[in-house]
Amino acid sequence: MADPFALGEAERQVRDTVRAFAGAELAPTAAARDESETYDRSLFERMAALGLTGLATAEAHGGAGMGTMASALALEEIAAADMGMAVSLSVHVLAQHCITAFGTAEQQDRFLPPLASGSALGAFALTEPEAGSDAASLALHATADGDGYRLNGTKIWITNGAHADLVVTFATTDRAKGRDGILALVIATDAPGFAVGAHERKMGIRDSVSAELIFDDAQVPVANRLGAEGEGLTVALGGLAVGRIGIAAACVGLARAALEAATAHAVARRQFGRRIADQGAIQTMLADAATSIDAARLLTWRAARLRDSGQPIGTASSMAKLFASDTAMRVATDAVQILGGAGYSRDNPVERFMRDAKGAQIYEGTNQIHRLIIAQQLITEATR
């Protein structure tokens, strides 16, 4: 049987390059950025210089054209050093997926090159105070005005929102129409009427800023609309289906880093005259972690390979995100347990891993919503 973890030469190069970069340039300062809740744009620029901001983007638009698998490999390595930077990059890539899949040739030519090169930072703005899991109920209002729209309302929890140059934003022309009223727009953050509001005071991934966005008669040209009026939710869900593969990959990286820290501690720490690694209770946690991480990576890579071969990914990407984020949460929690009191100290990274992991069970669709998606598919097949 072929090795399911086998990678091509170019893929191995991406993994090894990003591993070296993340170990040298992200890991040493991740705790300090978490502590000070600082987003460091210069690190995004370093990632851009390595080609990571456009890894999956077509070469015609300034990217490397390497696809979702290469992007997943990069995100696993970045997250193993710094989950906040991985989530920030993943959202930047998500914005590009929406434009690639639903933008016209002219829109792709206009928006993708600056995003792929990293000269512009992207964000994805769906969530609102009254619209979270029920995204079809969003209220950001778009009023047709000449050859554009005026937007009024707010978005919350928008990762990269405070620093972004281009935001893929979802609004409604008529809330009573539900999903049929929703449209997707690319808004430049220097547009009149656009402002950044409060920054969320987060539990984890504190070196990526999630912010409120305020639209007060913000002006967007019709030429910036992705798809037709009424297709906005399709754009959002299509983008998220791919974006979740990146989040799943990041969760694999975080879980891997937590397991490495737990294993290193378990072989170094002695109690009752022997290594705690020699205790069955500790071995069970380590073995379960290693097994779940491999399973999460297989689900993630399956979804990435499906996407790169043009096959449907809806359920596969939900399964990957669900299982990988639950794995990250459990492995990070067990790592804190294995380190004991030291694990509960902010002087060790595992407590940060635990805080960072929790968010992944919530964003890009909560894990309850992913279970609904997976179950719905089963039910549809059973009743066909």
Q: Which of 51, 54, 181, 359 binds ligand FAD (CB under 6 A)?
A: 359
Q: Which of 69, 73, 81, 91 binds ligand FAD (CB under 6 A)?
A: 91
CB 384 within 8 A of CB 352: no
* Cα distance between residue 380 and residue 367, in whole Å: 20
In the bound state with ligand FAD, the residue whose beta carbon lies nearer, of 72 and 138, is 138
Please choose, from the candidates 318, 162, 177, 129, the residue with its C-alpha nearest in 3D space to the C-alpha of residue 237.
Answer: 318
Binding piece for ligand FAD, criterion CB under 6 A, among 44-52, 222-230, 298-306, 356-364:
356-364
Q: How far is the CB of 36 from ligand FAD (least distance, A)?
A: 17
Residue 359 region by backbone torsions, left for phi larger than 0, else alpha for psi between -120 and 50, else beta = alpha
* Cα distance between residue 290 and residue 292, in whole Å: 6
Q: How far is the CB of 137 from ligand FAD (least distance, A)?
A: 10
Query: Which residue carries 């689900």 as its tokens?
Result: 299
Question: What are the CA-CA distances from residue 89 to residues 9, 118, 137, 367 (Å)?
Answer: 23, 10, 27, 21
Strand runs labelled E in 101-209: 122-125, 141-145, 148-159, 166-172, 182-188, 194-199
Determine the size of the site formed for ligand FAD (CB under 6 A). Answer: 20
Q: Which of 17, 107, 219, 366 binds ligand FAD (CB under 6 A)?
A: 366
In the bound state with ligand FAD, the residue whose beta carbon lies nearer, of 14 and 89, is 89
Q: How far is the CB of 371 from ligand FAD (least distance, A)?
A: 8
Region 187-216 residues binding ligand FAD, contact defined as CB under 6 A: 202, 205, 210
45 has catalytic annotation: no
Task: Point out the catalytic residue in the list 229, 231, 351, 364.
Answer: 364
Q: How far is the CB of 99 from ligand FAD (least distance, A)?
A: 16
* Cα distance between residue 15 and residue 48, in whole Å: 15
Q: How far is the CB of 367 from ligand FAD (least distance, A)?
A: 7
- What are the two backbone dihedrals, phi and then psi, of residue 312, each rounded to the nearest 5 degrees? -60, 145
187: CB partners within 8 A, 6+ apart: 151, 166, 167, 169, 194, 218, 220, 224
Q: Decide if residue 318 touches ligand FAD (CB under 6 A).
A: no
CB 161 within 8 A of CB 196: yes
CB 71 within 8 A of CB 64: no
Question: What are the CA-CA distances from residue 22 to residues 25, 78, 85, 86, 317 (Å)?
Answer: 5, 5, 10, 10, 25
In the bound state with ligand FAD, the residue whose beta carbon lies nearer, of 256 and 321, is 321
- Name the closest residue to ligand FAD (Cβ): 132
In the bound state with ligand FAD, the residue whose beta carbon lies nearer, of 51 and 161, is 161
What string marks each residue from 47 to 86 as x (binds ligand FAD by CB under 6 A) or -?
----------------------------------------
What string marks each residue from 121 to 160 as x (binds ligand FAD by CB under 6 A) or -?
---xxxx----xx-----------------------xxx-
In the bound state with ligand FAD, the residue whose beta carbon lies nearer, of 72 and 158, is 158
Contacts to ligand FAD by CB under 6 A: 91, 124-127, 132-133, 157-159, 202, 205, 210, 359, 362-363, 366, 368-369, 372
**Active-site residue list:** 364
